[in-house]
Structure 1
Amino acid sequence: MRSFGLVLVTLVAATGAARATEVERSITIARPPAEVWALAGPFCAIARWHPAIVRCEPLTFDGKPYRRLTTRTEDAFLEREIERDEAGTSYRYATERSPLPVADHRSTFRVEPAGQGTRVVWRSDFTVPAGKDEKAVEATIAGIYEAGLQGLAARLAP
């Protein structure tokens, strides 16, 4: 797995206007949805299963839940939970600060039944500012999601 620092450094500048885009990744895990949600559902639980996250600090600002993530390369992210659906096993969050070259970043993390197991879907939409390579940014975010989903599956492996 490449480090986030290396991936961020390799983002190449390009010309053009800002563009809205989205990334979605999913994985099927041979465990019951309740078990997957118990591990992955708490907003700051990401530090227990994402291999790049070494620390998650839960915060509250103006009564709203936030998390401050620190990666192995010491990059920091500040994310605000904007919606939580315990019954529907999903949450939605907005990235407030990030080393990634994106704006208006919103993500949804969802756990749903899939046959005898569980499908976990991680999706985001965001704007890539003018002058940034859209495909490289998409690939970076896809890599973050893929690494996380693989880490989650590994934590739940029998």
Structure 2
Amino acid sequence: MKYLVSLLCVVSSTALAHGPTPQKTDESVLVNLSPEVVWKKLSEPCAIQDWHPSVTTCEAPEQNKRVLTLKSGGKIYEEFDEVLVSEMKISYRLGANSDTKAMPVSSLNGRISIKAEGSGTRVSWMVRYYRVDTTNEPPPGTDDEAARNAVNAYVKQGLANLEASSPKK
């Protein structure tokens, strides 16, 4: 019995020390443009500076990589894993050296997909990420809430601006 109690104490204490949980942002918007026009806006690596209000400049130093400078002054390095023209999908991840003050995450994987819907185009943007501080008790600004707020705002601002820049019906 003594061993059973000891075992339960060990199991319960390790269950409490689990680290961060993955977070997810999944948003979409209907844009009044053809899929081909939307694809061109999204698939050109540095076209993001033309449609995302948080991005002031973009550089593409190598194929499948870009460096985004945000209005906050921080830089985000992104690497494209897939650009599937036939499916109109882009998969990317946060690259090394990204400014964690600009985007308080330790890792991030995103996917943007485009599908015809009615006379417009459905743009879906899904992101999975972990907070910047992966310890059990992160300080404010490095926790799940900070990561969620930053990623949600970034995705929603981008999609809202795409929708606002499309012609009204």
Instruction: Output the TM-score relative to the length of structure 2.
Output: 0.76
Residue in structure 2 matched with residue 82 of structure 1 by the alignment: 81
Residue in structure 2 matched with residue 98 of structure 1 by the alignment: 99
Give the alignment partner of residue 119 of structure 2, picking from 108, 116, 121.
Answer: 116
In the alignment, the residues of structure 2 paired with residue 108 and residue 43 of structure 1 have an alpha-carbon distance, to the nearest angstrom, of 14
Q: Which runs of 5+ in 1 are unaligned?
A: 1-14
In the alignment, the residues of structure 2 paired with residue 85 and residue 51 of structure 1 have an alpha-carbon distance, to the nearest angstrom, of 25
Secondary structure in 2 matching 1:19: coil
In the alignment, the residues of structure 2 paired with residue 72 and residue 21 of structure 1 have an alpha-carbon distance, to the nearest angstrom, of 24
Residue in structure 2 matched with residue 48 of structure 1 by the alignment: 50
In the alignment, the residues of structure 2 paired with residue 133 and residue 104 of structure 1 have an alpha-carbon distance, to the nearest angstrom, of 13
| Large movers: runs of 4+ above 4 Å | none
Instruction: Please say which structure displays the higher CA radius of gyration.
Output: 2
Residue in structure 2 matched with residue 145 of structure 1 by the alignment: 155
Q: Which has the higher strand share?
A: 1
8 A Cα contact 1:23 1:124, kept in partner: yes
Judged with a 3 Å threshold, the aligned counterparts in structure 2 of structure 1 residues 106 and 33 are, in CA distance, closer, same or farther, namely same
Shift of 1:135: 2.9
Q: Calculate the aligned-residue CA RMSD, in Å.
A: 1.8
Q: Which runs of 5+ in 2 are unaligned?
A: 1-16
Higher RCO by CA contacts (8 Å cutoff, separation 6 or greater): 1
8 A Cα contact 1:104 1:127, kept in partner: yes
Instruction: Output the TM-score relative to the length of structure 1.
Output: 0.81
Equivalent runs, 1:27-66 vs 2, <5 Å: 27-60=29-62, 64-66=63-65
Question: Percent identity of the aligned residues?
Answer: 23
Secondary structure in 2 matching 1:145: helix
Secondary structure in 1 matching 2:36: helix
Shift of 1:153: 1.8
